[in-house]
């Protein structure tokens, strides 16, 4: 809804809203992954969710660190790591929801 203007951050309302919305999305993504990780650790039958959420969190942080450290030519690659890790985790949750209990819980808790 609020793409960054082609000149970069120019301080327009559209640029400000882009930064606000992006910040909220990143914050909520981190919080949700951390909650999945802690919930999966506490409830042993949902350990799969904790593992997959941990992998997604790792790739999200790798992307964020890579954006800052990599040369500008590789900026997009690391940005995709960060953005797509949460999208892939959401896809995993959807598959688990459609499959039912078969994939949601660990074998020994069925």
Q: Under 8 Å CB-to-CB from 31, ≥6 apart: which residues?
A: none
Q: Give the model's pLDDT for residue 68.
A: 86
106 pLDDT band (50/70/90 cuts)?
A: low
As a whole number, the mean pLDDT across the chain is: 86
Q: Per-residue pLDDT averaged across 44-58, rounded?
A: 92
d(CA 93, CA 87): 10
| Residue 57 burial (10 A CB sphere; 0-12, 13-18, 19+) | buried
Alpha helices in the chain (DSSP H): 13-42, 47-69, 75-99, 101-104
Q: Give the model's pLDDT for residue 75.
A: 83
Contact 40, 50 (CB under 8 A): yes
Contact 45, 36 (CB under 8 A): no
Name the pTM for this structure: 0.81
């Amino acid at each position: 809804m609020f793409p960054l203007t082609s000149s970069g951050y120019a301080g327009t309302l559209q640029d400000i809203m882009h930064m606000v919305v992006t910040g909220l999305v990143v914050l909520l993504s981190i919080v949700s992954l951390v909650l999945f990780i802690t919930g999966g650790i506490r409830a042993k039958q949902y350990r799969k969710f904790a593992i997959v959420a941990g992998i997604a969190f790792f790739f999200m942080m790798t992307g964020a660190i890579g954006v800052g450290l990599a040369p500008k030519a590789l900026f997009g690659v690391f940005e995709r790591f960060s953005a797509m890790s949460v999208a892939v985790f959401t896809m995993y949750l959807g598959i688990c929801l459609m499959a039912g209990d078969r994939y949601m819980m660990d074998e020994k808790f069925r």
